[in-house]
């Protein structure tokens, strides 16, 4: 884990639990000085209390219920076992005004068990031996702030991967949501495979896509990605992961 991501995601002094951090290169995105700081109308943090988990579950269920049949989403009205499993965190975006939930994402690493998507498919050999993190159960408010919430949750996902030595961010996406990940320069794990049904997402057809954490900054800058400065050079004090 890089000593760094501390400048972006910690608002308290380093603690013993983070002692295993190693020094990152001076130009690594997690340690460099940020060019600017931006305050948000909401906070993003890791869920630690049952009341916060219930908020995450509520926004998650509401988001899925907008697109899927009640029979498919009924179980999402309660926390899932994976929400509190080792190697898993649930992120919650919460309004500063009234504390209402605005978004959530669950991140599962492969530190304790294979990724959930591996119930349905085998990942390629070139991913073996690397840290992986799968983002699932994304739920975003329909309010106009939702687009910013989604962007900051994605940034939180990226920074979480930096903090935990994750090499590949892995997601599954249905059409047309997969186009959003195309714009973030995710690539298909198996080029040309297209969509396949996945057990953990209601057996609906999804693309399996990844982003290389080690090389994403170089990639985005070479392509002139419009979110580069926001992702790599802007500090968000309202985003706290540790």
Q: What is the pLDDT of residue 191?
A: 95
Domain count, the chain: 1
**How far is residue 129 from each of residues 107, 124, 165, 167, measured CA to CA in Å?**
19, 11, 12, 10
Q: Quickly state the pLDDT bin for 30 (edges 50, 70, 90).
A: low
The enclosing domain of 216 has a CATH number of 3.40.630.30
Q: Quickly state the pLDDT bin for 15 (edges 50, 70, 90).
A: very low
Q: Which residues contact 22 (CB under 8 A, 6 or more apart)?
A: 1, 2, 3
Buried b (16+ CB within 10 A) or exposed e, 40-60: bebbbbbbeeeebbebbbbbb
Q: Could you say which DSSP state residue 238 is in?
A: T
- pLDDT (mean) for 173-177: 93
Give how far the C-alpha of residue 238 lies from the chain's centroid of Cα atoms, to the nearest Å.
16
pLDDT digits (tens, 9 = 90+) for 34-84: 679 999 999 999 999 999 999 999 999 999 999 899 999 999 999 999 999
Range of the domain at 141: 5-240
pLDDT digits (tens, 9 = 90+) for 86-116: 999 999 999 999 999 999 999 999 999 999 9
């Amino acid at each position: 884990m890089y000593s760094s991501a501390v400048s972006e995601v910690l608002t308290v002094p380093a603690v013993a639990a983070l002692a295993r951090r190693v020094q990152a290169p001076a130009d690594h995105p997690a340690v460099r000085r940020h060019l600017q700081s931006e305050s948000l109308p909401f906070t993003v943090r890791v869920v630690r209390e049952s009341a916060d988990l219930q908020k995450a579950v509520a926004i998650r269920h509401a988001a899925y219920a907008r697109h899927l049949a009640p029979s498919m989403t009924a179980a999402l009205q309660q926390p899932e076992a994976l929400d509190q499993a080792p190697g898993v965190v649930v992120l919650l975006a919460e309004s500063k005004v009234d504390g209402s939930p605005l978004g959530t994402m669950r991140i599962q690493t492969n530190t304790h068990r294979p990724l959930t998507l591996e119930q349905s498919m085998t990942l390629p050999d070139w991913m073996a031996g690397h840290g992986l993190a799968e983002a699932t159960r994304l739920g975003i408010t329909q309010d106009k702030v939702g687009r910013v919430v989604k962007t900051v949750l994605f940034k939180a996902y990226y920074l979480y991967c930096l903090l935990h030595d994750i090499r590949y961010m892995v997601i599954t996406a249905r059409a047309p949501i997969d186009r959003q990940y195309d714009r973030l320069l995710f690539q298909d794990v198996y080029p040309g495979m297209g969509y396949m049904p996945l057990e953990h997402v209601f057996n609906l057809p999804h693309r399996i896509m990844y982003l290389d954490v080690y090389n994403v900054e170089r990639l985005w800058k070479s392509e002139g990605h419009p979110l580069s400065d926001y992702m790599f050079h802007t500090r968000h004090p309202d985003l706290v992961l540790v």
